[in-house]
Chain A
Amino acid sequence: MAFRQGQKVEIYRRSDDESWEDYMDEFIGMHGIITDPDTSKNDPDALIEVSLDEKGTHRLPQDCLRAIEE
């Protein structure tokens, strides 16, 4: 797990994961906050919950995210 709850992140690219849907392309470049880092398994592959500034809360694959602050 690279992300923790409350961390600010950016969606910096389209994910290669099968769970990525076309409408999510609109999210690329947006900033948000991790609200649920993963399930309970600390699975690096888990979908994690991100609240995006002005775009709502979505469960996204981790490969499209990068932290924008420590």
Chain B
Amino acid sequence: MSPHTCSVKSLHEELRENLTSGNPAHPWCRQKVSEIFDLVHDVSQGQAGEKHLDSILYLAEQLSEQGPDSACRELGQYVTVFVNQNHEEFLSHIRTHTCPTGHCPMLTPAPCQMACPAGIDVPSYVTLAGQGKYAEAISVIRSDNPFPWVCGLVCTHPCEFMCVRGRMDTPISIMDLKGFAAEKSMSSRQYLNPEPMPDNGRRVCVVGAGPGGLTAAYYLALEGYRVTIIEALPVPGGMMMVGIPRFRLPREVIDREISMIESLGVELRLNTRFGTDVTLESLKSEGFEAFLLAVGTHGTYKLMVPGEDDFQGVLPAVPFLRRVSLGDHRMPGRRVAVVGGGNVAMDAARTSIRLGCEEVHVLYRRTHDQMPAHHEEVVEAEEEGVQFSYLTLPREITGENGKVTGITCVRTRLSKPDENGKQRPVPVEGSEHVVAVDVVIPAIGQEVISRGLESFDQVNWTRRNTIRVNTVTMQTHQEAVFAVGDAVTGPATVVEAISGGKKAANAIHRYFEGIAQPALPSVPVRRRRLEHFEVPAALKTDLQRPQMSLLNNERRRVTFQQVRLGLDDNQAHNESKRCLRCDICIRCGKCVEICRDKMGIEALCLGYIDFDNPGPTDLRITAERCIACGACATNCPTGAMQMEDHGGYRVLSLCGTVLNRLQLEYCEICGAVLGPARYHDYIMQRVKDISPEMGNRRVCLECARKQSGGYHAEISPPRQ
């Protein structure tokens, strides 16, 4: 078995081959092997319970001890050894309904879930939100992420980049649905914590109350640990609180979700700087046995241009945003230049607008399409009046009387692509010009402030000045010391920090319990297997990604009110219906192949199933061509494609999307279901030379045989 082959799938196939080829031959043995096969099948389908494994081993033991021949006994021994060797993988299938290799079709997570750094079961919560089960949706999300509301407003949503619907038209508004469900759930007081394990008496210290540290604290508290978080700032939340402005993420949202974590018994010590107010020794003497470093990246890179340190009015973005977040809303100056093209630069520029600055320029040395900031943020900044100067590189900050008066820049052009396809900004000689401003906000990058962490003397640092960890477990080189968040990745995203926090909590728990640490990154766990909505193909196609209402521009320019106003109920429910439910349909393409290649019908136009080269998708064309033969449904490995007869119709659906609906016909003689006329005609066309002639009558094959007694294709002359 190759290292990347699923052991459950492998045993399933071996047993199937044995049974198909008549091994073992003894009836008693065949019965036992069939029973084992059925149990392994359940495991591969995510339908097994805790006792399945014991039952498999019991049956295998019976085979090896009571088998009437050597082949039978050997097979029993083989199964016993195989299952014991792959015990953990079998358990993973049973307990988490997850196949780590992705080879069990029923247990393969959807691309959106795989893309989420925190591994949230996206299709399940999208479906639950669409059903109005908001509390249940939040419960699903919080199995992997304790900040559904925060992430519903500011996540970078890599899930949407991988959303299969995006290959058809536009991706599902996954992030917005999360925010919608969280707000509904919190508003109705149904946003609840799960029941934690009993207190185990062990103490863990988290340094830094950002998303990574708080996430680890949440999952450790649920496991019964006593967690204390040391935070240098007067407020918890880290960059969520002092980096992301309030117009994107209201403080109430952060406070409410952090209070849920606190209510599990997590202690927050604010205004407490590690290395100054507390030390490693003092914390150890308090009884802390493990430490998690989640200090973030609160340092800023300098522009390294003349004048940067010489004049009042140079305000690095991180301390500037922190100051404003903590309540200082004084205007920094009349005219502001923000240097950089990332999200922090956009936040600094938009904050400056709200503080009353008359002119806000963003100076970026590359082109618009190369800006790392998110497109929505750039558009909203433009709407609010931020002026962008692309291909502009600062050369010097100038001033008078100790105050900034301008920033000298040069134009740049992009070089020809090098061998790696990279284009570099090259200064255009003679293009010097001065942008007259009284404030310059550098926003070109952040770094970890390592001051105070020297006492963790065995923790290694990378050349990027981040903490070196094993990224599977978040363990540092120092025993019982773990690290997460931006301090590890460099300035990254909230959801990546949350992912690290969850991994670290698991690793810390394993450390205390003496359980071996994982060697490979964990595979997201499917939390539910929910029924899909029934939606007509036309509606599925026509529904559009919702346009979220925004605060009017005048108010955006003067207040810190939340800009994105959220989805309404109707928008959210319809958006949920657009989901293609890729947790059920694994896009293997068997349905398309069989319809096109075997049946010659070509009724399925599902171009979205190809990741690299998606073709056109037309869900409506199926109704025009499909004969409702059911070949696609029969060959679907996951049950995504279904064909059912009810109410006098034969209905073909793909994950609830009704692709075809044809009226059934019945045998004129006995009343048996014949299938739709299109199907009947297709069959009759194919068998016209060998089947009894029944004219235009609709009769089943059995009645046809009775009616045409005496006729035999081999002895009757062919029809003209």
Which residues on A are within 8 Å of B, measured CB to CB?
A: 1-2, 4-6, 8, 18-19, 21, 23, 26, 31, 33, 35-47, 49, 51, 53-59, 63, 66-68
Contact = CB atoms under 8 A, between A and B. Distances in A.
Nearest to B522: A56
Contacts of B356: none
A29 to B, nearest CB: 12
A41 B421 CA distance: 19
B648 interface: no
Contacts of B102: 54
**Which of A33, A39, A53 has most chain B Cβ within 10 Å?**
A39
A39 B491 contact: yes
Contacts of A21: 470-472
A38 B445 CA distance: 10
Interface in B451-501: 462-464, 470-472, 489-493, 496
A23 B520 contact: yes
Q: Which of B114, B472, B524 has the most CB of A within 10 A?
A: B114
B579 interface: no
Nearest to B523: A56
Nearest to A8: B612
B485 to A, nearest CB: 12
Given A36-B492, A56-B119, A57-B158, 20 more contacts: A1-B366, A1-B370, A21-B471, A31-B612, A35-B161, A36-B372, A39-B342, A39-B372, A39-B445, A39-B490, A39-B492, A40-B445, A40-B446, A41-B301, A41-B340, A42-B342, A42-B372, A53-B611, A54-B114, A66-B420
B179 interface: no
B611 A31 contact: yes
10 contacts: A1-B366, A38-B372, A40-B340, A42-B365, A47-B464, A47-B489, A49-B493, A53-B611, A54-B111, A57-B114
Given A31-B611, A43-B445, A44-B422, A57 B117 contact: yes
A54 B345 CA distance: 33
Contacts of B470: 21
Contact of A33 (B119, B162, B422, B443): B162
Given A2-B422, A36-B156, A23 B472 contact: yes
A20 B560 CA distance: 41
Given A1-B370, A18-B463, A41-B342, A49 B496 contact: yes
A42 B366 contact: yes
A25 to B, nearest CB: 11
Contacts of B446: 39-40
Nearest to B490: A39
A5 B158 CA distance: 10
Interface residues of B, number: 55
B344 interface: yes
A41 to B, nearest CB: 3
The 6 lowest CB-CB distance pairs between A and B, nearest first, are A40-B342, A41-B445, A35-B158, A2-B422, A51-B115, A39-B491
Select the residue from A18, A21, A43, A56 with max chain B CB neighbours within 10 A.
A56
B697 to A, nearest CB: 52
A33 B421 CA distance: 17
B56 to A, nearest CB: 28
Contacts of A44: 422
Contacts of B695: none
B519 interface: yes
Given A18-B462, A59-B496, A5 B421 contact: no
A5 B491 CA distance: 16
B374 interface: yes
- With most chain B CB atoms within 10 A of its CB, the pick from A5, A8, A31, A47 is A5
A1 B115 contact: no
Given A1-B366, A53-B111, A23 B519 contact: yes
B438 to A, nearest CB: 23
Interface string B677-712: 000000000000000000000000000000000000
A47 B496 CA distance: 13
A66 B422 CA distance: 10
Contacts of B462: 18-19
Contacts of B342: 39-42
A41 B297 CA distance: 13
A31 B470 CA distance: 24
Contact of B158 (A2, A37, A51): A51
Contact of A68 (B341, B463, B524, B612): B612
Contacts of B521: 23, 56, 58
A33 B464 CA distance: 24
Contact of B114 (A6, A45, A56): A56
B369 interface: yes
Contact of B420 (A2, A5, A36): A2
B156 A35 contact: yes
A38 B491 CA distance: 9
Contacts of B423: 2
Interface string B83-127: 000000000000000000010000010010011110100000000
A43 B365 CA distance: 12
A55 B522 CA distance: 10
Contacts of B111: 53-54
A37 B371 CA distance: 9
A63 B294 CA distance: 28
A66 B421 contact: yes
Nearest to A40: B342
B598 interface: no
B443 A57 contact: no
A30 B489 CA distance: 22
B562 interface: no
B62 interface: no
Contacts of A33: 158, 161-162
B23 interface: no
B343 interface: yes
Nearest to B444: A41
Contacts of A46: 490
A49 B521 CA distance: 16
B340 A36 contact: no
B51 interface: no
A57 B116 contact: yes
B4 interface: yes
Contacts of A18: 462-463
Nearest to B119: A56
A54 B521 CA distance: 13
A18 B158 CA distance: 25
A40 B612 contact: no
B294 to A, nearest CB: 16
A59 B161 contact: no
B492 to A, nearest CB: 7
Nearest to B489: A59
Contacts of A4: 369-370
A70 to B, nearest CB: 10
Contacts of B119: 56
